[in-house]
Amino acid sequence: MDKKKMRVFMGQFMEMTTGAAVMGVVAVADRIGLFREMAGAAPADLDHWVEATGLQPRYLEEILSTLSAAGFLEFDADQDLFSLPDEHAACLADESSPYCLVGWSQMLPALYGAIPGVAHAAREGGGVAFADFGPDMVEGIARANGPGIRVLLTRKWLPAMPDVVARLEGGVRVADVGCGSGEAVFALAKAYPASTIVGYDIDSHSIELARGRAQSQQLSNVSFEQCSAESIPAEPGFDFVTTFDVIHDLVEPIPVLRRIREVLNPEGTYLMVEPVAGDALAENLHPAGALTYAMSTLHCMTQSLAHGGAGLGAAWGPRRAEGHCREAGFGEFDRIDVENAFNAFYRVSG
């Protein structure tokens, strides 16, 4: 046995274990509003943060210590002061920033909660259904995907299709399929007030959240329907259909893609946004690939297999994405050149 190789692996294992444990404390800090309280504030000692937050001193001390040791906070050891650097606050406290990452910490415990069900399914078949992940999964997805969609969709992603933008500005009917709690619907409705945006999702909790948010945002050009994508009404049709992080999750991807084609007007465009992945495992042997396969095992694949579905998994790659779209009847399939670490963008039509 190569002891050096073993020690390197032990280091790698403990680094991952540390990350997993620290993320639990990040989830607590997020829930108690600690990052928002510390954002933009001057460095201060424990007594100050206890007074400012009203939190229990012993808990706060341990949480601040964890986050300082992990490098989330800065600790001035000479004066015992804790602070949150602005650069970290953008990722942890500012949900309007495209760099906000903290929603992942809400999603991870929901993924861990599925471990017994996934282990059972790995032995016996089946899977863990979407609804069994609970509300933190729905909110965690919205908060993890939301910052990119809210900020980049209309500023960076759609401008790669200027003809589509011109139609949206003129006023067309748009469907966002698998809309979750409505991030993309709201972003499109705000940027293109002349267009009408309908969000469809099979999950009742997601639609309930989306409708609540629609009410508080007072947008007159949005609506939400709880229905499976295969049943979206064909009349009146849509000029633009979007899916964000949806197709690989589906029980029956081909019938859904076929339905999307049927509800699109003849000149219409479908924008399919899916996790970035190569076509083969050999292309995905890096940390982003590990995250994609892990998310897939603990969520994407299992919630499809729970209903006897295709279980495509999140790392299904552009070749299969194109094959599926062509099998559903689409004639045109192009990957759009948009720089993004998480998503691949496909323009589909015909």
Contact window for ligand SAM (CB under 6 A) among 4-12, 94-102, 121-129, 172-180: 172-180
Task: State yes or no: residue 229 binds ligand SAM (CB under 6 A).
Answer: yes
The residue with tokens 């991030």 is 183
Cβ–Cβ under 8 Å, residues 249 and 304 = yes
Residue 2, CA distances (Å) to 7, 8, 47 in order:
9, 10, 50
Task: State yes or no: residue 94 binds ligand SAM (CB under 6 A).
Answer: no
- Per CB under 6 A, contacts with ligand SAM among 118-157 are 130, 141-142, 145
Task: State yes or no: residue 84 binds ligand SAM (CB under 6 A).
Answer: no
Q: Name the minimum Å distance from CB 278 to ligand SAM.
A: 20
For residues 92 and 187, which CB has a smaller minimum distance to ligand SAM in the complex?
187
**Amino acid, single-letter form, for residue 314:** A
Contacts of 134 (CB under 8 A, 6+ apart): 110, 113
Contact window for ligand SAM (CB under 6 A) among 37-45, 70-78, 111-119, 242-250: 242-250
Strands 196-201 and 74-76: unpaired
Beta strands in 126-251 (DSSP E): 173-177, 196-201, 222-226, 238-244
Residue (of 156, 234, 145, 230) closest to 185 by Cα position: 145
For residues 55 and 108, which CB has a smaller minimum distance to ligand SAM in the complex?
108
Q: Name the minimum Å distance from CB 105 to ligand SAM.
A: 16
Beta strands in the chain (DSSP E): 74-76, 81-83, 173-177, 196-201, 222-226, 238-244, 264-275, 332-335, 343-349
Contact window for ligand SAM (CB under 6 A) among 88-96, 179-187, 217-225, 277-285: 179-187
Taking CB under 6 A as the criterion, the residue among 250, 263, 298, 315 binding ligand SAM is 250
Task: State yes or no: residue 274 binds ligand SAM (CB under 6 A).
Answer: no
Q: Which helix (H) or strand (E) holds 189?
A: helix 183-191
Q: Name the minimum Å distance from CB 333 to ligand SAM.
A: 20
For residues 18 and 217, which CB has a smaller minimum distance to ligand SAM in the complex?
217
For residues 72 and 345, which CB has a smaller minimum distance to ligand SAM in the complex?
345
Taking CB under 6 A as the criterion, the residue among 72, 82, 192, 200 binding ligand SAM is 200
Task: State yes or no: residue 178 binds ligand SAM (CB under 6 A).
Answer: yes
Task: State yes or no: residue 103 binds ligand SAM (CB under 6 A).
Answer: no
CA distance 152 to 144: 13
CA distance 158 to 108: 30
For residues 29 and 306, which CB has a smaller minimum distance to ligand SAM in the complex?
306
| Residue 249 CB-half CA count within 13 A | 26
Task: State yes or no: residue 228 binds ligand SAM (CB under 6 A).
Answer: yes
Q: Name the minimum Å distance from CB 192 to ligand SAM.
A: 18
Q: Name the minimum Å distance from CB 82 to ligand SAM.
A: 33
CA distance 149 to 184: 6
Residues that bind ligand SAM (CB under 6 A): 130, 141-142, 145, 178-180, 183, 200-203, 206, 228-229, 244-246, 249-250, 256
